[in-house]
Structure 1
Amino acid sequence: MPHSRFSGSVSTPKVDVAIDMGNPFLNLTVDGFLKIGTVAAARVATEEAYHMIKKGNISSHNFEHTLKKMCKEGAYWGTVAGLYVGMEYGAERVRGTSDWKNAMIGGAVTGALISAVTNNGRDKIVTDAIAGGAIATAAEFINYLT
């Protein structure tokens, strides 16, 4: 009986852009901003293209609206990511060790700062700090598993 086997591996392409700001903290922060900001902008572009095609209404007004939304979402999520990466790196430098606790600290500080900037009350800032720390810690643990 003939026997066949398929063997191979699939990997995701990696695109890396090196930006040297002269400081590792700034390098990581800008890198996080650009990567996540690009992902957020691409998500908006994809969603908006889907909605335009579904409605069958592609106009310059819709295109302009999409570009504005891409910039807004990209800047927002890029800022959150840059802030998180910077806070995690800062925690690592202050603590002198690289472990999951840096992700927790970075997430908590980022959640609290983003919440405070949006003029939330004290209780909301605390819950956002807890959520940020929990999400970052969970992501770090999942990253260890893979």
Structure 2
Amino acid sequence: MPRSRLSGSFNSPKVDVVIDMGNPFLNHTVDGFVKIGTVGAARVTAEETFHCLKKGEFSKHILEHTLKKMCKEGAYWGTVAGVYVGMEYGIERIRGTRDWKNATLSGALSGALISAASNNSRDKIVADAITGGAIATAAEFLSYLT
């Protein structure tokens, strides 16, 4: 029996925003903040657009609420990404190698730091460190597959 197979690849567009802070560490950190902060803001935009379409209403109040939520979420997501990217770059420079261990350490330290800054309990900080390390490691391994 004849079989056919679809093969190919999908490449997402690469967007590079060059912000030169005069220091590679700061360049990586700001780049992570801007890119992922934009993703966070776009998520809010899509979510709020869906809610407006579902309700069938749109007002100045809803727009103001959406803009505030976009800024808040964008800043939060960007801060998390900036901390992670900055830590990963720093650990890479200290260790002198680029591998999955940098992602694991960066994710764990970022998770713990952000959790501690949120005044969480010690158990929550440890759980967030484990979660951050696991997510970063999984993302690193997935990037090796592509």
Query: Which band: TM-score by shorter chain?
Result: over 0.9
Alignment partner of 2:33: what SS? helix
- State whether structure 2 residue 131 is matched by structure 1 residue 131: yes
Aligned CA RMSD, in angstroms, stands at: 1.4
Q: Which residue of 2 aligns with 1:55?
A: 55
- State whether structure 2 residue 100 is matched by structure 1 residue 95: no
Distance 1:90 1:8, change over 3 A: closer
Q: Which residue of 2 aligns with 1:41?
A: 41
Alignment partner of 1:142: what SS? helix
1:76-123 per-residue CA deviation (whole Å, 9 max, x = no partner) reads 000000000000111101111111000001000100001001111111
Alignment of 1:1-146 (within 5 A): 10-146=10-146
Distance 1:107 1:9, change over 3 A: closer
Q: Aligned letter for 1:119?
A: N
Distance 1:101 1:49, change over 3 A: same
CA distance in structure 1 between the aligned counterparts of 2:86 and 2:7, rounded to whole angstroms: 41
How far apart are 1:14 and its partner, in Å?
1.5
Q: Which residue of 2 aligns with 1:3?
A: none
How much identity, in percent, do the aligned residues show? 75
How far apart are 1:8 and its partner, in Å?
7.2
Q: Aligned letter for 2:71?
A: C
CA distance in structure 1 between the aligned counterparts of 2:50 and 2:128, rounded to whole angstroms: 32
CA distance in structure 2 between the aligned counterparts of 1:27 and 1:54, rounded to whole angstroms: 41
Q: Aligned letter for 2:123?
A: D
Alignment partner of 1:26: what SS? helix
CA distance in structure 1 between the aligned counterparts of 2:61 and 2:31, rounded to whole angstroms: 32
Alignment partner of 1:67: what SS? helix
Which runs of 4 or more aligned residues in structure 1 lie more than 3 Å from their structure 2 counterparts after TM superposition? Answer: 6-10
CA distance in structure 2 between the aligned counterparts of 1:105 and 1:131, rounded to whole angstroms: 11
